[in-house]
Amino acid sequence: MLLGAVYINPRSSSRSEAEISQMLSHMQHDVYEALSDSQHMILVGDFNAHLNNFPDHFPEGQVAMLSRFPELGTTRLGQYKGRANTAGRCLRDIALETPLILTTGRGKGDNGQPTFGHNPPFNPSRTEHILMSTALFLCCKQSSVIHELDSADHRPFVCHFLPVFVTCTLIGQVLRRGKGKYMVWRGEHKAAFVTHMLENETVLQSFRDSVRDQEHQSCYKHFLGLIALAADATGMTARQMSRRMQLGLPMAPWYDATCRDHKRRIRWNKKTTNLLLSCNNNTLLTAD
């Protein structure tokens, strides 16, 4: 998962709207590049962006996201200024053109609460925002602004994520005869899992050496090796079930003696046919 901390300067006499727009354009380019490394991303910070509560108009390429999260096509929760500023319009465009969701006013505790200007002479407004990938938005359980902390003019914004069932295919070293094991996360074994990873000095040293030498493939291999070995040692792996077993069908040998006889005849006929074809080819070559 990639976590990005953002700060965009507000518009002022020394910082024009065009400059702010260019900064956010560069950020959008960085988002595209980062998403090629990981599909799970959170961008959070003070964008100095003021939104409005108008519905977002998603392009055709994002129709699937809108059908998955219909609340994104409705007005945002909360009270906003009548007109979004430049940063707000650019931030909304980033959310519309990338697979990230701008969570401001989209429920789950985020009702568009103000995060800035609780102390005079400022009027309360929402300048802090969070963008996250769809998978993380699904896991987001609750969002809230901590108003009790009044030592600064900005308020912290907190997101709580609900862990989901973790299933991942392990690396080739744990595969046996084409039937792979898969990892099943068990919370009651997490302490033993972490301990095993930290105490596996051999693989850890190999991992550190790869990091030092900037050998990315080797680093990746050793890191996954730590996970695979710890999962095996702590009972967090299970062997993949065949499709027949998943469907509850009888397992082989389900056939009877008649099936075996037919199978034997098929093999004999195939062998005889191949032999006859070989003889015919030899005859033709001799005739030539």
212 and 150 within one domain: no
Q: How confident is the model at residue 47 (pLDDT cuts 50, 70, 90)?
A: very high
180 and 146 within one domain: no
Read off the pLDDT of residues 122-145 as tens digits, 9 standing for 90 and up.
678 889 999 999 889 988 989 888
Q: Tell me the whole-structure pTM to 2 decimals.
A: 0.56
CATH number of domain containing 105: 3.60.10.10
Q: 185: which 2 tokens?
A: 């996360």
136 and 22 within one domain: yes
Domain-located, residue 260 = no
175 and 104 within one domain: no
What total number of domains does the chain contain?
A: 2
Last residue of a domain, one of 126, 143, 161: 161
126 and 7 within one domain: yes
Instruction: State which residues form the domain around 234.
Output: 167-244
At residue 213, does pLDDT exceed 60?
yes
The set of residues, in sequence order, having a beta carbon less than 8 Å from that of 44 and lying 6+ positions away, is: 3, 4, 5, 6, 128, 129, 130, 131, 157
- The mean per-residue pLDDT over the stretch 73-90 comes to 85
Cis-peptide, bond into residue 121, ω within 30° of zero:
yes
